[in-house]
Structure 1
Amino acid sequence: MSAPHILVVDDEPDIRTLLQEILADEGYQVESAENGEAARRARRSRKPDLVLLDIWLPDVDGITLLKEWRGDNGLEMPVIVMSGHGTVETAVEATRLGAYDFLEKPLSLAKLLLTVERALQAEKLARENVGLRRQVQTVFEPVGKSQLMQALREQVERIAQHDSRVLISGEAGSGKKTLARYLHHCSARRDGPFVDVGVAIIARENSAVELFGSEEGEEVHFGRLEQANGGVLFLEDVADMDPETQARLLSAVETQAFRRVGGTEPVKVDVRIIAATHRNLEQEVRDGRFREDLYYHLNVVPLRIPPLREHAEDVPDLLNFYVDRFVDHDNLPYRHFSLAAQNRLRLYSWPGNVLELKNLVQRLLILGSGDEIGLEEVEQALGEASLAAGGLAAPGVLDLPLREARELFEKAYFEHHLQASGGNVSQVAKLAGVERTHLYRKLKALGIDPRQVGGGK
């Protein structure tokens, strides 16, 4: 992982030199700017992890720069303001605009270094809680004592020691994101960001801006690739990436640099890319839907996660794991599976893989009662799953009026495929042969929330 990048903005050469030397000795990467325009160029060239900003500059004051850099969600990096003749009003205004702290000159270098350290730590914690890691959760290793899962964990731990790109393949719901997070957690980049991009849910017209950011005048939007600097960019459903974005990504992978949409200068990044797909990417290449050169760049280390039916002996461990997780994190009542129920679930085919098992456990904890989940309750839950898979073959459905039977089938059909795809509406729309906007209306009419049905992959 690369060291934090600090931008020092001050018009006094001696102060710039002193701060550059002191911060470099502490292991930081340091860049300096002598005025506001140079600061704008430096920030555009590379997003700093922290800015030391003098209030009084020859061309523009620091407050103006703070206002320029303050987006809808505040500043995109911590800023420590410095001034030799600051006032209370200036300090208050800087803080109101999002500055982390206000330091008076002459600077106490000990206090400066402590403030820098605390600002970077605060930014890291904020990023983990509400920023870049949008769905942060405790990192779990893949669950299971089977030979398959033991071998998979060992393989991931070996791969994590290297910085190569990884392509994770596996059926929908098999736990690709969990595996990617575990790989990141085992690597030297573990303290860096893990930025998750659901490629399939990004509108095609927004995908380049979402990934690579944009520039318009002095306004700079930092994309996910730049946000992942020093850490990992996880590309979920990479097969759904449009051709133009594939070309941009290929260039970024080859050069470790890219241009923002509307930008003219290259931006360098240090990012490990982990991509994931439930499709056969080789077939996508043969069919002309995915670039062959990008495929080979992403597939440096292939990693296959097996479907649950191939390691069904892990089902009891997974049941216990998710029961404990929902009890601890969602305050659901504790219930245990009887031995007969566990054996029945070991024999189930799990078309939706670990995600389906997770959803089943959650549903049984929410809707059931009593300390034990028995065979009869499990059979009923699997019967509902069978309805989703078999539709009109379920008992009693053929006796309903046509309209009710059709609605029941449609509801079961879409819930099944949303669960199997992890809530991927685009994928279900393609499978069903309907427009995505039409599918959204249909789901709303049927009372289906894709997020609740699909959960997370």
Structure 2
Amino acid sequence: MSEAYILVVDDEPDIRMLLQDVLEDEGYQVALAGSVAEAKAQRRSRRPDLILLDVWMPDGDGISLLKEWGDDEGLPCPVVMISGHGNVETAVDATRLGAYDFIEKPLSIEKLLITLNNALEAARLQRENVGLKRHAGTVADPVGDSATMVNLRDQVQRMAQHDTWVLITGEPGVGKQTFARLLHARSARRESPFIVVSVGSLSGEEAIAELFGSEQGEHVRYGLLEQAAGGVLFLDEVAEMDLQTQGRLLHALDTQRITRIGGNQPISVNVRVIAGSQYDLAEAVKQGHFREDLYYRLNVLPLTIPPLREHPEDIPELLECHMRHLHQQEGLPPRAFQRPALERLQQYHWPGNVRELRNLVQRLMILGSGDEITRDEVERTLSGQPQRAEEGGEGTVAIPDLPLREAREQFEREYLQQQLERSEGNMTRLAERVGLERTHLYRKFKALGIDPKRVKSDS
């Protein structure tokens, strides 16, 4: 947090200079504005991490400016109001409009610094919570004590000590984003944002606007590169990025400067890039689908995540970890694997890797019954067959004790989740497998509470 960028907006030059001296002594970067117009210009030129905003200024007031910024894509960062003419009504208005706090003049420097630190920490925690929600359903750190996993964690630890770009490759579901988050957590940028770019969901001008931001009149939209300032930009499935965006991104990151769409002022950016791909980028370069210069820039520090079938000794620990995680996060009843069941799972080839393992554990916890999981139950689950009733005799199907509508929804949810996993999150392939149009599929997902993006969350 010591390098946070703070915008100080106050019409009194002495107070501006005092705050600049104090904040720079504390290690913050500081920009100054003495009016509403200057504040707008400074906010446009660079996304601040925090704004100190005076209420009264010669060309307007801070409360109106706070409301304007809140209406325009939401407040870009925590805002702390300061005023020598404050009252309870003004403080209430500021808080209602999203201000983090309201401090009266004359300023207590000690109180001010505590407030700023708390505001920056609250913003960091909020970013982490958003990231965790998007990453929900997965275990936070790579699991396993095999020689393979120990070596991978050692590589990540060494890579974390440098600020070079990293390319993480591996089959779908091996946990590329999990290792990227581990690398970020062990680096000097750990206190700064970790921003995920789902490259496959972007195309053309949409991708450029999402990455670089845009300007139109007073309206400013901060792109993902600015949001990742000081931290990490994770390019999920970077091979799916179109060539135009690849070129523009490479130039921006090499020069550490971007220009928003509709803007004309270059903006400094400082981010570390970690890219993930299930494809052979060298082959993509040969085929003309990926820029050679970007490939070599990314491939300075390569990290290859092997498939789960190459370290089956980690499977028991992975099963236990995901069982515990699902019990804690979703309240599912825990169960124990019998030894023959564990042996069968260690022999399985796991085409979907760790993501498939997690989904299998979830199915066994939701649809199974009894405290223990048998080899026969594992076989049926792996083959996609319905669970047999414990007491219904051979070949009978367990009938859930639910109303017909809820039972049908449960079946549809489980069926579509399995098919989505087998289609590796590809909606076109999924539509072909299940015989439904994509529009109908998306409506089904919404009605059943299925997020198709979660299939890629541990890619």
One fold, TM greater than 0.5? yes
TM-score by length of 1: 0.87
Partner of 1:256: 256
1:196 shift after superposition: 1.3
For 1:439, the aligned partner's letter is R
Specify whether residues 287 and 196 from structure 1 end up closer, same or farther in structure 2 by C-alpha distance, changes over 3 A only: same
Residues 419, 433 of structure 2: 8 Å contact kept: no
Residues 198, 237 of structure 1: 8 Å contact kept: yes
In structure 2, the residue corresponding to 1:356 is in which secondary structure?
Answer: helix
Aligned equivalents of 1:285 and 1:312: distance in 2? 33
Partner of 1:383: 383
Q: Does 1:70 align with 2:67?
A: no
1:420 shift after superposition: 4.7
In structure 2, the residue corresponding to 1:43 is in which secondary structure?
Answer: helix
Partner of 1:103: 103
Specify whether residues 335 and 132 from structure 1 end up closer, same or farther in structure 2 by C-alpha distance, changes over 3 A only: closer
Aligned equivalents of 2:299 and 2:150: distance in 1? 23
Specify whether residues 98 and 376 from structure 1 end up closer, same or farther in structure 2 by C-alpha distance, changes over 3 A only: same
Partner of 2:291: 291
Q: Does 1:456 align with 2:457?
A: yes
For residues 405-416 of structure 1, the aligned pairs below 5 Å read: none
Aligned equivalents of 1:20 and 1:142: distance in 2? 43
Measured against aligned partners, the alpha-carbon deviations of 1:35-74 in whole angstroms (never above 9, x if no partner) come to 1111111111111111111112122221222122114764
In structure 1, the residue corresponding to 2:57 is in which secondary structure?
Answer: coil
Partner of 1:439: 438
Alignment RMSD (CA, Å):
3.0
1:351 shift after superposition: 0.8
Specify whether residues 245 and 452 from structure 1 end up closer, same or farther in structure 2 by C-alpha distance, changes over 3 A only: closer
Aligned equivalents of 1:450 and 1:16: distance in 2? 48
Measured against aligned partners, the alpha-carbon deviations of 1:132-154 in whole angstroms (never above 9, x if no partner) come to 97436897332222221211111
Q: Which moved more, 1:70-79 or 1:107-116?
A: 70-79
Partner of 1:17: 17
For 2:452, the aligned partner's letter is R
Number of matched residues? Answer: 432
Q: Does 1:356 align with 2:356?
A: yes
Residues 385, 416 of structure 1: 8 Å contact kept: no
Partner of 2:407: none
For residues 90-169 of structure 1, the aligned pairs below 5 Å read: 90-130=90-130, 134-135=134-135, 140-169=140-169
TM-score by length of 2: 0.86
1:451 shift after superposition: 2.4
For residues 282-431 of structure 1, the aligned pairs below 5 Å read: 282-384=282-384, 418-420=420-422, 422-425=424-427
Partner of 2:265: 265
Aligned equivalents of 2:34 and 2:72: distance in 1? 27
For 2:368, the aligned partner's letter is G
* Long gaps (5+) in structure 2: 387-412
1:130 shift after superposition: 3.4
Residues 139, 325 of structure 2: 8 Å contact kept: no
1:376 shift after superposition: 0.5
Aligned equivalents of 2:296 and 2:17: distance in 1? 45
Partner of 1:395: none
Report % sequence identity: 55
Specify whether residues 153 and 440 from structure 1 end up closer, same or farther in structure 2 by C-alpha distance, changes over 3 A only: farther
Q: Which moved more, 1:416-425 or 1:288-297?
A: 416-425
Aligned equivalents of 1:310 and 1:324: distance in 2? 24
